[in-house]
Amino acid sequence: MCMTKTTLKTLAAIAISCVLTGCKNGELPEDRLTVEPYDHEAMHRYYKPMYEAALAHDMSLADCHFFPHTTKLNRLGIRRLERMGPILEQYGGTVRYETYSKDEDAVRNRLTSVERYLADAGMDMKSVTVIAGLSGGRGMTNSDAIRAEDNFYESTLEEIEMSSGQGQ
């Protein structure tokens, strides 16, 4: 019986200390590097500029940005064009629609749908063109891709050897 009372007291003390130290009235935990609370925007502040730079370089749409078998943009396509909007508004450019479809009418209708969306959003269509073609980024050459893959496998092997003690 004494063991049970001692165990219950210990558990109660642990629970109380966890509540007092672990919970701060619903406050978000802090980022240990920047000592700022985590929230939706704070988590993405590092990635947003990278995404926008990549989007400015690429400026493309694909079949996944449309509802299947239709010319209507889906939510993903609308969001992509919304993010592309400020870039197109400031610098103009070419939006490329990359597709494997051989149906020329469907492709032309999807291009028209994108043009109409941008025009309805207030875009100056004199500085923006919408074409069917490969995405706009330079991409990576095959020799760069092979070298990157080799570097990945070599670094992974080194990490495995170091963690298992074989690399010492």
Longest CA pairwise span in the chain (Å): 86
For the chain, the structural domain boundaries read 59-132
User: Could you identify the residue written with the tokens 């149906």?
Assistant: 103
At 24-74, the pLDDT tens digits run 555 655 555 555 555 666 666 777 777 788 888 889 999 999 999 999 999
Question: What does pTM read for this prediction?
Answer: 0.58
The arithmetic mean of pLDDT across residues 131-138, rounded, is 79
Is the Cβ–Cβ distance between 52 and 83 less than 8 Å?
Answer: yes
Task: Please give the DSSP secondary-structure letter assigned to residue 71.
Answer: S
14 phi and psi angles, rounded to 5 deg = -65, -45
Structure tokens at 22: 């672990």
